[in-house]
Structure 1
Amino acid sequence: MGKRIFWLMMLILVLTISCGEKKESSKGAGAEKEITLRFSWWGGDARHKATLDVIKLYEEKNPGVKIKAEYSGWDGHFEKISTQITGNTAPDIMQIDYNWLYNFSKNGDGFYDINTLKDDFNLDNYDEQALSYTIINGKLNAIPVGMNGRAFFFNKSLYDKAGVEIPKTFDELLATDKVIKEKVSKDAKSLDITSTDSGALFFIEYYVEQKYGKPILTAENTIGVTKEELADAFKFYKMLVDSGAVVSAKDRAGAGNFPDDQNPLWINGELGAVLTWNTMVGQYENMLKEGDTLVSGDFLTGIGEHKSTFIKVNMAFAINKNTKYPKEAAKFLNFMLSDPEAAKILGTVRGIPLNKSAFAELEKEGQTKGPLAEGLTKALAFAGPKTSPYIEDERTRKLGLEITQKVDYNELTPEQAGERLYTELEKLLKQMTR
């Protein structure tokens, strides 16, 4: 009987140890489970390729982590992210436009507070001033990538062929346009100031700031101009379009649906200049025909005495507040934005970086010079008054496009356009700020 009890006790002991080993084994297997982080961004082919190369490098260095890339062009990207955030299906890491913070995180609770991830993301690589742009209610909602400014970029080769200097005023632009049409191509245009998502909205902003020293929307989220001042801006825009020097929304529609940097006139060397974000320079440069040269030009003046270009944080990276892997997301972001190898790969596809480590690396590589950097430097020096982030809200952009198209098709007079923009902005501001 005693022997039976002894062997029974031994059997129980063996089984207990065995079960414990299985649990430990199971625990170990779980720890080695691969983590997948979803990462979304918008951009052109150059940005896509560089970002994918950085992802590949990170995965090689971190075998337990996979980054699922979700990327596209600009058009429709906001709507996609908006739907995902609303439906709680947003990626772990998101490239966001600066003004989206005010759509999705008015109180600072819309994204993960990166201040709480200091052990995994090196915030010392950023000046406090830079980070202040993306702090809401004391919470660091995103990491700003760089600064962005709207600037004029010219196809110098077109002006060389026509034998004229690159213009510095709107009067010079109109005069040189006639020469270009005579000597190079009757179909040529001198300036593209419209965009596929906002029409001439940002040119209207450029005009009223230069003439009146006031933004369309103030930093306090009020309308900063009168109906008459907006009408004045639309009159000037229509004059430029009617002269044949400037591309209109109607011209764009007639040429087909294409991204801003793929205007056929630009690709064929028949467009003199664009007014666009300095971070877009690489894409425009890549689209030039072989032998043509892009340069950063002066801001066209002659409207008024005030500085008038628009600057902002070009974009930012946010972490989903509901991510299962905040530390891992922060580690990947830190690598992408701070690692020397990553900095070399990304170059300036997202502009001149605010990250000190990345900037130092690009400076060594000679990548902090050229049209992109020159355009930003000029924009910072010619910046107009601070503007509400709601000027870039999708609803504001769509309103700008709609009114521009109606002006181009003579469905609205400049006076009616000024009144319409003012009245509709009043309604939109109430919706956006409540």
Structure 2
Amino acid sequence: MKRNLKKAASLALASTMALSLAACGSSGSTETKAADSKAAEGDSKAADSAASGEEVTLKFSWWGGDSRHEATEKAIEAFMAKYPNIKVEAEYGAWNGWEEKQALAIQGGNAADVMQINWNWITSYSGNGKNFVNLNDYSDVIDLTQFDQDVLDQCKIDDKLMAVPISLTGRLFYWNKTTFDEVGCDIPTDEASLLAAGEAFKAKGDDYYPLALGEYDRQIFLVYYLESKYGKPWVENGELQYTQEEIQEGMDFITKLEENHVIPTLATLQGDMADSIDKNAKWINGKYAGILEWDSSVSKFKKAIEESTDKPGQELVIGEFPKFGDYNGGFTKVSMAFAVSANSEHPKEAAMLINFLLNDDEGIEISGTERGIPCSKKALEILNEKGIGDEMVKEANAKVTSYSKFPLDPYFEHNDLKANPDGVYYKVFGKLSAGQETSAEAAQELIKGIEECYSNYQ
């Protein structure tokens, strides 16, 4: 599908709506002598630049949870110790509101030198290759031989490398085993066991639910459910592959989960007064006992229940992929990447920081799996050799990348669709949960919104 990328960037930035989230695992782990030579050459040239003595200040922006913030700040300190003439100023925060802030920064030409970005920002916000530096121009600084070519290609616009991929990611079901054991029911593996869990949790208390899904979570769940049943990708060649009747069936299933106390209504979630589920007191204290989450983001959910003040030491486990049909539903995607703003006055030093985080031994060890399982072959090898990183993240990444094989079109996460609260997904599932639309009306509105979005950018 031929994209009008310039039009996409213009419209998206003008709206200042959300940009989007996700990790790019690489199966390779062996470095060739040529790759080693290339890396050494890059390190040497980077060192020559640093040794010039020029005082340089870089701004580095990212979002995430506390553990990612702590690891990244530590990595920045190590980078500045290695290159004393380069000062790095950190700008970070939680995901909530981050997209809008970065949209304004890109639009205003004052984005950070180095940006942690989501994969779809490349499509929607690169300005047809004008807003981000072509990192192919800095292959003497960033060792690109550590990344599989097909993964690098996903980060290109018109053969310009707009960002270096950090990781691959997918969504999995995670369950609070402590709560399930207390309730006395099995962890769900299909529709019947989901409904049985809803009944058991309701008997435990009205505030107890086996699964919690926000608006965007519901859209991803809907796609997973339908792909499991019908074996078709959600979107292919820029066209929605599902009929209104099939999508209505998925909407009916989500309503069924609400009616059978499997998931709380969106009004209930909003009434909890939490920015995200990992910060929700009901999650922290085990009343919400399941999530559908990216493998690269699960650490903050796990930490929240383990460090709960009222109920410390709860156990989070990776569940099986629930079977709703004969197919393996779900998708994987390039998650996060590092890009350099085209307005950066020090793109080479910015590239040095990226290489340090992704390919330098010290940067790799400090970063661990805070942004998912690395795409960099060198990083993956070091983490495996030294046993570094969250074992749950490693297990989850291997599980989802081997199970979920459907493709994801980058416009699935376009602002027009997933922005909170004005995106199509939020509006449709909000109305469905509130009883303001029937499943047929919700399906029709979802299709209309998706088709309008795709017609604007193809």
Q: Shared topology, TM-score over 0.5?
A: yes
Distance 1:186 1:426 in 2: 39
Matched residue, 1:208: 226
- The answer (yes or no) to whether the contact 1:191–1:246 under 8 Å persists in 2 is yes
Matched residue, 1:409: 434
SS at match of 1:225: coil
Matched residue, 1:187: 207
Q: Which of these two proteins has the greater Rg computed from alpha carbons? A: 1
* Structure 1 spans left out of the alignment, 5+ residues: 1-30
Please state how far the C-alpha of 1:138 moved relative to its aligned partner.
1.4
Q: Residue deviations 1:398-427, cap 9 Å, x none?
A: 210111111111111111000011112111
Distance 2:400 2:135 in 1: 29
- The answer (yes or no) to whether the contact 1:153–1:273 under 8 Å persists in 2 is yes
Residue 194 of structure 1 aligns with an amino acid whose one-letter code is G
- The answer (yes or no) to whether the contact 1:230–1:418 under 8 Å persists in 2 is yes
1:336 aligns with 2:362: no
Specify which of 279, 284, 299 is matched with residue 282 of structure 1.
299
Matched residue, 2:322: 300
Query: What's the C-alpha RMSD, in Å, of the aligned pairs?
Result: 1.7
Matched residue, 1:150: 171
The 1:356/1:384 distance shift into structure 2, 3 A limit, reads: closer
Matched residue, 1:223: 240
% same residue:
33
Specify which of 313, 317, 330 is matched with residue 291 of structure 1.
313
- The answer (yes or no) to whether the contact 2:332–2:406 under 8 Å persists in 1 is no
Residue 232 of structure 2 aligns with an amino acid whose one-letter code is K
Please state how far the C-alpha of 1:325 moved relative to its aligned partner.
1.0
SS at match of 1:63: coil
The 1:415/1:384 distance shift into structure 2, 3 A limit, reads: farther
Matched residue, 1:134: 155
Matched residue, 1:256: 273
TM-score by length of structure 1 reads 0.88
Matched residue, 2:47: none
Distance 2:390 2:89 in 1: 33
Q: Residue deviations 1:57-80, cap 9 Å, x none?
A: 111221111111111111222222
The 1:54/1:368 distance shift into structure 2, 3 A limit, reads: closer
5 Å-filtered alignment, 1:75-90, equals 75-90=96-111
Residue 159 of structure 2 aligns with an amino acid whose one-letter code is G
Distance 2:116 2:136 in 1: 18
Please state how far the C-alpha of 1:141 moved relative to its aligned partner.
1.0
Distance 2:264 2:332 in 1: 23
* Structure 2 spans left out of the alignment, 5+ residues: 1-51
SS at match of 1:38: strand
Distance 2:275 2:100 in 1: 19
Specify which of 346, 361, 364 is matched with residue 367 of structure 2.
346
Distance 1:155 1:36 in 2: 44
Matched residue, 1:8: none
Please state how far the C-alpha of 1:319 moved relative to its aligned partner.
0.9
Specify which of 295, 319, 326 is matched with residue 347 of structure 2.
326
Residue 74 of structure 1 aligns with an amino acid whose one-letter code is W
The 1:199/1:361 distance shift into structure 2, 3 A limit, reads: closer
Please state how far the C-alpha of 1:186 moved relative to its aligned partner.
4.0
- The answer (yes or no) to whether the contact 2:209–2:288 under 8 Å persists in 1 is yes
- The answer (yes or no) to whether the contact 1:213–1:384 under 8 Å persists in 2 is no
- The answer (yes or no) to whether the contact 2:170–2:294 under 8 Å persists in 1 is yes
Specify which of 174, 181, 195 is matched with residue 160 of structure 1.
181
Please state how far the C-alpha of 1:40 moved relative to its aligned partner.
0.8
Matched residue, 1:13: none
Matched residue, 1:93: 114
Residue 357 of structure 1 aligns with an amino acid whose one-letter code is K
Distance 1:108 1:173 in 2: 46
Which moved further from structure 2: 206-215 or 66-75?
206-215
Distance 1:181 1:252 in 2: 16
